[in-house]
Chain A
């Protein structure tokens, strides 16, 4: 087992944790987006509320969900560790630094990550916490289901009627976009998955992902604020 401990305390091991958790979260974002797009179904929330009920009650999904929380925290913790160790390794700073052509995002992953973490707390406080640990949400009946479910759909509509929260979400998603701009391809590089033919494709895919996924999420608050109000 010593080899495993050595690995996860080595620089590359730690980076690998960042990479694997990052890739998991990238996958999660797609699932999350696909689920959330049901909010755009104009049926008074029937589809979405049923989906929300399923997501909070299916035991398999619950396990995955807790795994997901753990990976978010691990990614954040490891990111912080890397940041602090790297800062120490660099020591003093240059009086002048003119960077060669490297992306801004790549140098500011820790800052972006911290903002995203803050955003996740706000986001989970708005929905997940209220849904799971409070009785603030109204109960509604859905045809074909024998229990009443929490009306998360209305909670979403209420939240996104607040212009401040809509702006906060948009900022959060923009931050996410920058984070993914570097993170997607970086995860593959860390895994050593590199090839003269395929790496440019992964790079292009990553950039498309970094734009399209946050954009997909951004449609929801915008839709509620401008169309549904």
Chain B
């Protein structure tokens, strides 16, 4: 299949950047990133600079890959990361527009690579259980309802890719933050410090310059792990509780 690729090229954070158009011949069994490999190999052959893009596991779990493909983070298929998107979902002759995540809190580093370290700082603000190694009681000492553990797992399945922020017209990181707050608040081990956690993580999220949630739901629709915005409601609840409850 012959494709026309319009790819965002930007030398560095200070560069204004713009689109470049490339012709690529791909096969339908390829993954989207393998198609990008083909493009890059052809650029290197011409001794040009290949397109910088982030990728690692290529099986949809590490959260590295991040491309907005034809206007949707991770491309047209729901519940799919860029690396899991296969070319059979495109047609011969298609024009594909590829852009980086866009949000002020995710500055572009080069081409399609953005800086997502703000997510790490949100987790550092409280996205953990304060337990040191070796302090743990027996794993079965606290039974946890199967459904609750399952719900926590659904929230914990977040891969930290940032598609929620990329999809959100407000550039909000609420789904990311909520997924972690939810995961830990649902588990009895994490519940203990859930108020403190919610308060500190939200404060950091605000400080990092993410926008405010207006419950549009674009994050949920584009999340490759299909994390529900019910988690955002839970974060709101935890947060309100943390401010008005307690001392």
Contact = CB atoms under 8 A, between A and B. Distances in A.
Interface of A is mostly: helix
Contact of A89 (B8, B203, B210, B243): B210
A99 B238 CA distance: 30
A180 to B, nearest CB: 13
A189 B233 contact: yes
Nearest to B198: A12
Nearest to A186: B215
A182 B215 contact: yes
Interface stretch (B64-72, B83-91, B119-127, B130-138): B64-72
Contact of A100 (B97, B215, B218, B230): B218
Contacts of A182: 215
Interface in A30-61: none
A12 B240 contact: yes
A192 B102 contact: no
Interface residues of A, number: 43
Interface string B32-68: 0000000000000000000000000000000000001
A14 B212 CA distance: 9
A89 B167 contact: no
Interface residues of B, number: 50
A196 B235 CA distance: 15
B222 A100 contact: yes
Interface string A69-94: 00000000000001001101111111
A102 B102 contact: no
Interface of B: 6, 8, 19, 68, 70-72, 76, 78, 97, 99, 102-105, 167-172, 174, 202-203, 205-206, 209-218, 221-222, 229-230, 232-240, 243
Interface of A: 3, 6-7, 10-16, 82, 85-86, 88-103, 106-107, 109, 182, 185-186, 189-194, 196, 199
